[in-house]
Amino acid sequence: MEPGDVTFTEQPSIPMQGRYTRLVPLSREFTEELFQLAAANRIPWQWHAPETPEAFQESLWRGVLVQYAVQDVRTGRSVAFVRADNANLFFGFAYITMMIHPDCRMKAWPLEGALLFGNYLFTKFNLEHLYAETTESYLQQFASGIGTQFEVEGRLRNRVVVNGRREDLYILTFTRERWLAEGVPAVERATRRLREPELV
C-alpha cells in the first residue's frame, strides 16, 4: 500500500428481509395504489392540499428521512408502507408511520416489516426515540403492545377528526433501551432462517 492510499472497510449490512417481508424502495405502481387508497379513504392520509396525484406525491415525500414499501416475500406484492420523518438527528429522534394495505389489516405477519424498519432506523441513524401518532380507533388494533412493545407518551383529547367524528390523538414512543432489550433479539429470530444453510 502506497502512502496516501485510502482503504475502505465494508460495513456490516443491516437486514432488510425477514421470514415474511422485505423492505424495498417505493415503486411507481405502489405509489399510485397508495394514492387510490388515500383518495378513496381506505387508508388514513393527512391531505395538506387538494386531493390530486400531484398533491399526494408532494405530501408523500415532505419531511421524509427514509421510507420503504413492505413487500410480501412469497408474492412480491407491496402490502404496507413505512416512513420516518420530522427527524432530529442531533437529539436522536424521528416520527414513524406505517400504513398497511386494507387487504392485510388485522394480520400479524406484515408487522415484521415494522420490526425490520425500526432496526434499520436505530442502527443506521443511532436514534434514541421513535415516536408515532395514532388515533383512538386505530390504537385499538394494536393496543396489546402497550407496555410491552411501546409506551403511550401522551394523549391529546379531541385533537383530530376521523370521518366526521372527533377522536383523541395518542403519541407512542419506542425507546432505544427497549429496542436493545427486545427488538434486537426479535430481529435475530426473524432473520435466523435466512442465515442458516439449507440441510440437504
Question: pLDDT digits over 86-132, tens only?
Answer: 999 999 999 999 999 999 988 889 989 999 999 999 999 999 999 99
pLDDT at residue 47 in the model:
74
Question: What's the structural domain count of the chain?
Answer: 1
For residue 122, the domain's CATH number is 3.40.630.30
pLDDT surpassing 50 at residue 198: no
Q: What's the N-to-C CA distance of the chain in angstroms? A: 43
How many other C-beta atoms can be found within 10 angstroms of the C-beta atom of residue 158? 11
What pLDDT shows up at residue 171?
Answer: 93
Name the pLDDT band for 57 (thresholds 50, 70, 90): confident
Distances (CA, A) of 39 to 28, 36, 50, 129, 186: 17, 5, 10, 31, 35
- In this model, does residue 199 exceed pLDDT 50? no
> Using CA atoms, how far apart are residues 35 and 72, in angstroms rounded to an integer?
20
Instruction: Specify the range with the lowest mean pLDDT, choosing from 114-118, 150-154, 189-193.
Output: 189-193
Q: What is the mean pLDDT of the chain?
A: 86
Residue 7 domain flag: no
Residue 13 lies in a domain: no
Predicted pLDDT at 146: 78
- Bigger pLDDT: 29 vs 57: 29
Residue 12: inside a domain, yes or no?
A: no
Quick one: which of 42, 28, 58, 98 has its CA closest to 50? Answer: 58
Residue 184 belongs to some domain of the structure: yes
> By mean pLDDT, which of 55-59, 105-109, 138-142, 165-169 is the weakest?
138-142
State yes or no: pLDDT of 41 exceeds 60.
Answer: yes
pLDDT score recorded for residue 200: 35
123's grid cell: 442502527
* Residue tagged 408532494 (cell numbers): 58
The domain of 61 spans 21-194
- Calpha distance 123→182 (Å, rounded): 14
pLDDT given for residue 76 in this prediction = 96
Give a yes or no: residue 146 inside a domain.
yes
What mean pLDDT is predicted for residues 144-168? 83
In a domain, 199, yes or no: no
State the pLDDT at residue 4: 56
pLDDT at residue 27 above 90? yes
Q: What is the pTM of this model?
A: 0.85
Residue 45 reports pLDDT greater than 50: yes
Residue 30 lies in a domain: yes
Question: Does a structural domain hold residue 70?
Answer: yes
- Give residue 49's pLDDT band: very low, low, confident or very high (50, 70, 90): confident
